Amino acid sequence: MTKDKPTILVVNDDGITAPGIKVLLEEMQKIGRVVVVAPDSPQSGMGHAITIGRPLRLDKIDIYEDVEMYKCSGTPVDCVKLAVHKIFKGKKPDLCVSGVNHGLNYSINILYSGTMSAAVEGAIEDIPSIGFSLDDFSHQADFSHCRPYIRAIASQVLENGLQKGTLLNVNFPHINKEIKGIKICRQATAKWFEEFDEREDPYKREYFWMTGKFKLLDRGEDTDVYALTHGYVSVVPTQFDMTAHYAITELNSWSFDI
């Protein structure tokens, strides 16, 4: 008897027509039955936002042959929630993959990323989940060097599973770098140093345009930043439990007498 193909939910934050999601769904079609639910417009930087003050729309569309696809008016996290509750109707998929994002989601960027938040929501729903991102913001980005790794990593997650509350954050170097293999990494310590360019609109009202520089504060050779800089695919096991467990003992020693 032939085992049924796994069901794979594909989501993203760059929108339903982004080239990256086409690459991801094509690779997932080789290993499973694909259902796509993605925002109807770009949602980069949305983080784990959800829609609570306006209605959500979910429309079935036909873009690619033999793929069940839906566009959603909400955020990447909304896409996962609607997929689980309204499309799969509680019978959860075997895997949730998000991306492939145009631009890296390494280090601190994971907190802002709609791509990774969609994968996090999958993990919250106890679905093995992976976020994929590429070091190329271009709409014409070349994903060819990512394809075999996408398929291999997804296949391993399907075969071995992931611990509850854990997902994978996968980043690919730019095609100009020769991929040397995969490195399992930790998240590098870094931050954005923002600047706000003050401007004036035609009505003389001021507005601000956020800019800034990404600064690495971590010289470790076991980080995602180091791996990508040296031509490796970085794989960071990630969790949504943000408790600083090491600090609990110290805080219990404080006096909170009022």
CATH number at residue 170: 3.40.1210.10
Reported as a single tens digit per residue, the pLDDT across 54-103 is 999 999 999 988 899 999 999 999 999 999 999 999 799 999 999 999 99
For the chain, the maximum distance between any two Cα atoms, rounded to a whole number of angstroms, is 72
At 1 the pLDDT is: 32
The upper half-sphere exposure of residue 48, i.e. CA atoms within 13 Å in the direction of its Cβ, equals: 10
Number of other CB atoms surrounding residue 58 within 10 Å: 17
Residue 203 lies in a domain: no
At 225 the pLDDT is: 96
How many structural domains are present in the chain?
1
- Domain extent, residue 25, equals 7-186+221-241
Please state the length of the chain: 258
Measured distance CA(17)–CA(15) in Å, rounded? 6
Q: What is the pTM of this model?
A: 0.93
At 177 the pLDDT is: 79
The upper half-sphere exposure of residue 67, i.e. CA atoms within 13 Å in the direction of its Cβ, equals: 28
Residues contacting residue 243 through CB under 8 Å, at least 6 positions apart: none
Residue 213 lies in a domain: no
Q: Which residues of 104-126 are buried (b: 16+ CB within 10 A; e: fewer)?
A: bbbbbbbebbbbbbbbbbbbbbe
Angle between helices 19-29 and 147-160 (to 10 degrees): 50
Render each residue's pLDDT in the chain as its tens digit; 258 residues: 346 899 999 999 999 999 999 999 999 999 999 999 999 998 888 899 999 999 999 999 999 888 999 999 999 999 999 999 999 997 999 999 999 999 999 999 999 999 999 999 999 999 999 999 999 999 899 999 999 999 999 999 999 999 999 999 999 999 887 899 999 999 999 998 989 999 999 999 999 999 889 899 999 999 999 999 999 999 999 999 999 999 999 999 999 988
Residue 204 lies in a domain: no
